[in-house]
């Protein structure tokens, strides 16, 4: 007895449909990887910082006070997401000065994820590049960067520590610690409001 060809095709189609359905059932009941379902602390901190993208201005104070930063000094900070969301660029400048980094202080900082570690590299006007890594506070409002290593010279000192604290969507603070020659710390505090 011969089976018509269409019966054989129908049997093959039915078997492949059953195999596909069984595969989908196994996938649906397989345990989910918690790493894929829940973002890491580093990713949460990075997302928090990326929410600060925009232009900011506010008062800046130094401790100890310096002649470069008189009472009432102000700063402009620009933060923008780049590289398809893989990096955050942070730029500082004195408000009212031309955007000319060859004549005025205009440090640039890059923040990015490397595996499960949030990193910061500060391209300093002192000619060096301190590298820091982050940890977030239990409440998720503060991201603190601690010093790892330094590229470039240390003749004029280097940035050593940074803390970003979100107050709300339009207000955040930044605290930066600079180690002067002889490892004397100088702390800068910026109280920033969103202007764009």
CATH (one of 3.40.605.10, 3.30.230.10, 3.40.50.2300, 2.40.128.20) for 41-194? 2.40.128.20
- For the chain, give every domain's residue range: 5-30, 41-194
Rounded percentage of the chain residues whose pLDDT exceeds 90:
64
Structural tokens at position 62: 């130094």
Distance CA 159, CA 131 (A): 9
Mean predicted confidence (pLDDT) in 50-59: 96
DSSP 89-142: EEEEE-TTS-S-TTTS---EEEEEEETTEEEEEEE-TTS-EEEEEEEE-TTSSE
pLDDT band at 10 (very low <50, low <70, confident <90, very high): very low
The helix (run of H) or strand (run of E) holding residue 111 is strand 108-114
Q: What is the pLDDT of residue 7?
A: 45
**Distance from chain centroid for Cα 19:** 45
Asked if 53 and 79 touch (Cβ cutoff 8 Å), the reply is yes
- Helix, strand, or coil (residue 95): coil
**The pLDDT of residue 11 is above 60:** no
**The pLDDT of residue 166 is above 90:** yes
């Amino acid at each position: 007895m011969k089976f018509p060809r269409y019966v054989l095709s129908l049997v093959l189609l039915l078997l492949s449909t059953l195999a596909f359905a069984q595969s989908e059932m196994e996938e649906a009941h397989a345990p989910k990887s918690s790493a894929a379902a829940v973002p890491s602390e580093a990713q949460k901190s990075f997302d928090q910082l990326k929410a600060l993208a925009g232009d900011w201005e506010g008062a800046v104070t130094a401790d100890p006070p310096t002649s470069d930063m008189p009472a009432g000094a102000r700063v402009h900070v620009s933060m923008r997401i780049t590289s398809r969301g893989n990096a955050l660029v942070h730029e500082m400048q004195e408000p009212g000065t031309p955007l000319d980094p060859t004549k005025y202080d205009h440090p640039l900082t890059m923040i990015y994820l490397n595996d499960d570690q949030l990193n910061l590299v500060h391209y300093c006007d002192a000619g060096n590049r301190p590298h820091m890594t982050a940890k977030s506070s239990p409440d998720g409002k503060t991201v603190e960067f601690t010093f790892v290593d330094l590229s470039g010279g240390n003749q004029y000192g280097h940035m050593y520590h940074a803390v970003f604290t979100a107050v709300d969507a339009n207000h955040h603070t930044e605290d930066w610690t600079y180690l002067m020659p002889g490892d004397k710390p100088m702390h800068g505090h910026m109280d920033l409001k969103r202007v764009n």
